[in-house]
A and B are shown apart, each in its own frame.
Chain A
Amino acid sequence: MASKIIVKNLKKAFGPLEVIKDMSLEVEDREVVVVIGPSGSGKSTFLRCLNRLESIDGGTVIIDGFDLTDKSVDINKVRRNIGMVFQHFNLFPHKTALGNVMLAPITLGILSKTQATERGLEMLRKVGLSDKANVYPAQLSGGQKQRVAIARSLALNPDVMLFDEPTSALDPEMVSEVLAVMKELANGGMTMVVVTHEMGFAREVGDRVIFMDGGYIVEEGSPEELIRNPKEPRTIDFLRKVL
């Protein structure tokens, strides 16, 4: 089975600041990889390189066989296959929940308006928000917003989903509803890369955890071994702080 995501010797700098110095990682089909690391260690930057929201300075990123560093690859086509969920939801405030979910399939000419409505309603049902179809984001709770954001990504039927701290901006009582949706996605066979500090989720849903610091992957392993028995001092130090 070929890997869904192949990252080789990735480098990324912002001016003089080398955020990612050398990272390599392969993610298998249906695998859930959880990324942890201290604030500012480049977790978001790493994730954003995977759909080229950040330009890639060195190395290669291959998703589904498409080399993102190859200039002839149509990045817009590749991105349809990679859903991304942001810490602050980034819902479109001028569209209803359903409008948010329908916008990309219609704009990209993938679905007709009728088909997109049907698909949009189906995706909202999947995240448990059928009753909020005609509500604007301003009237949704944080957890509901994030579930709409997930539905919006799912509308394009992606093979890979990237999550950047999807629950960190939520009130504690809303975290579980979002994690439940993510867990269901993982059980359904979605390939996922998740940046999160939710160690419970990492243990329960993750197949692998990687710990990032200083521009490198410092340590990786199964959730059990990495969280219970970290070997590197920096990992031990970090886990002591978050657990």
Chain B
Amino acid sequence: MKALNLFTQHLPTFLKALAITTYVTVISLIFATLIGIVFGLFKISKKKPLVLAANFYLSIIRGTPLLVQTLFIYFGLPMALGFRWPWATFYWRSQPILAAIVIMSLNAGAYMTELVRGGIESVDPGQMEAARSLGMSYGQAMVQVVMPQALRTMLPSIVNQFIVTLKDTSLLSMIGLRELVQNAKIIVANNMEALTMYAIVGLFYWVIVTLLSSAASNLERRTTYGK
């Protein structure tokens, strides 16, 4: 079994690449959630400038391909602002991790913004009214009453966004991040085993995505409190 041999031979680098893929996805999703909460609140606010700022951000991210965003942020911004993306940040040596996280956070942040807005709007307005009538401020009511309910209904969609972002990190091979695809590319350059190597990459994605999808549908089933 040649394929199996190739698989075991390259398993250590693939596991490291998988770790990088997962790391970038998880950290980016955390930032994206924070971005989503901030811009989601902007979007539903009554202050025009905040709404405009949110709409501007959303339209840029959703109106352009992730590949263009990646090239722009990684190659374009440093030229304009005169800096270089560090290659030894966070936990990983010699990887453009910071750039990767910035790119994926900004991208997923836009989609999370829509999820947060939808989540907040799905909460019965009577919840906000009850909290306000008890003397809570808008912010207190948001944090204590509306957001916990919104996040809970959003949970399955957040897992879906996680899946999308996980797959999207494959584009980061463009900037040399040694995630799954880049790892395969490097190996293929040496051994020319494109079919087997990319099949292995696909298998890795497929296993994780399948696991996460079933987690998401599990979450969807448990939506009532105290049940």
CA–CA, A104 to B145, complex, Å? 10
What residues on A are CB-neighbors of B135 within 8 Å? Answer: 76-80, 104, 108, 156
Please indicate the chain A residues that have their CB under 8 angstroms from the CB of B152 in the complex: 94
The answer to whether A136 and B226 touch (CB under 8 A), given A51-B133, A84-B133, A107-B144, is: yes
Asked whether, in the complex, the Cβ of A94 is within 8 Å of the Cβ of B136, the reply is: no
Complex Cα gap A153–B137 (Å): 16
Q: Which residues of B contact A82 (CB under 8 A)?
A: 133
- Distance (whole angstroms) from the CB of B93 to the closest CB of chain A: 43
| Closest CB in chain A relative to B18 CB, distance in Å | 35
State whether the Cβ of B63 lies closer than 8 Å to any Cβ in chain A: no
Contact of B134 among A94, A136, A138, A156 (CB under 8 A): A156
With A103-B144, A136-B226: A90-B129 Cβ-Cβ less than 8 Å: yes
Residues of A within 8 A of B122 (CB): none
Complex Cα spacing A72 to B135, Å: 16
Q: How far is the CA of A53 from the CA of B130 in the complex (A)?
A: 10
Number of interchain pairs (Cβ within 8 Å): 71
**With A93-B225, A96-B226 given, is the CB distance from A108 to B126 under 8 Å?**
no
Kindly state the separation between the CA atoms of A136 and B227 in the bound complex, as whole angstroms: 9
Q: Once the chains bind, are B227 and A79 in contact (CB under 8 Å)?
A: no
Interface pair B133/A79, CB less than 8 Å apart: yes
Enumerate chain A residues within 8 angstroms of B136, measured Cβ to Cβ.
76, 104, 107-108
CB distance from A210 to the nearest CB of B (A): 22
Smallest beta-carbon distance A76→chain B, Å? 5
Choose one: B124, B129, B132, B225; the contact of A94 (CB below 8 Å). Answer: B225
Interfacial chain B residues near A180, Cβ < 8 Å: none
- A86 within 8 A of partner (CB): yes
With an 8 A cutoff between CB atoms, is B13 at the interface? no
Distance A156 CA – B132 CA, assembled complex (angstroms): 13
Contact A53 B129, CB 8 Å, known A76-B135, A79-B135: yes
In the complex, chain A residues whose CB is within 8 Å of the CB of B137? 76
Q: How far is the CB of B151 from chain A (nearest CB, A)?
A: 10
Question: Is there a chain A Cβ closer than 8 Å to B148's Cβ?
Answer: yes
Docked-complex contact A138 and B226, CB < 8 angstroms: yes
In the complex, are the beta carbons of B132 and A92 less than 8 A apart? no
Determine the chain A residues whose CB is within 8 A of the CB of B225 once the complex forms.
Answer: 93-94, 136-138
Chain A, 100-134, CB within 8 A of any chain B CB: 103-104, 107-108
Quick check: is A203 within 8 A (CB to CB) of the other chain?
Answer: no
Q: For the complex, is B191 an interface residue (Cβ under 8 Å from A)? A: no
Decide if B134 touches A92 in the complex (CB within 8 Å). Answer: no
In the bound complex, residues from chain A placing their C-beta under 8 Å from that of B45 are: none
Q: How far is the CB of B226 from chain A (nearest CB, A)?
A: 3
Q: Does A88 contact B (CB under 8 A)?
A: yes
Residue of A nearest to B149 (CB): A94
Nearest B residue (CB) for A153: B134
A135 at the interface (CB under 8 A from B): yes
A215 CB to nearest chain B CB (Å): 23
Give the nearest-CB partner of A78 in chain B: B135
CA distance A84 to B227 in the complex (A): 28
Q: Which residues, 133 to 162 on B, are CB-close (under 8 Å) to A? A: 133-137, 140, 144-145, 148-149, 152
Residues on the A chain within 8 Å of B131, using CB: 92, 104
Q: From B144, which residue of chain A is reached at the shortest CB distance?
A: A107
B-chain residues with CB within 8 Å of residue A107 when the two chains form the complex: 136, 140, 144
Q: B127 on the interface (CB 8 Å rule)? A: yes
- Chain B residues positioned under 8 Å from A187 (CB to CB): none
Which residues of chain A have C-beta atoms less than 8 A from B148's C-beta? Answer: 94
Give the CA-CA distance A77 to B227 in the complex, in Å.
36
Q: Are B144 and A138 interface neighbours, CB within 8 A?
A: no
Top-5 shortest CB links A-B? A136-B226, A80-B135, A90-B130, A104-B134, A90-B126
Tell me the B residues contacting A by CB distance below 8 Å.
Answer: 124, 126-127, 129-137, 140, 144-145, 148-149, 152, 224-227
CB<8 Å pairs between A and B, sample of 15: A76-B135, A76-B136, A79-B135, A86-B129, A92-B130, A93-B225, A94-B149, A96-B226, A103-B134, A104-B131, A104-B134, A108-B134, A135-B226, A156-B134, A156-B135
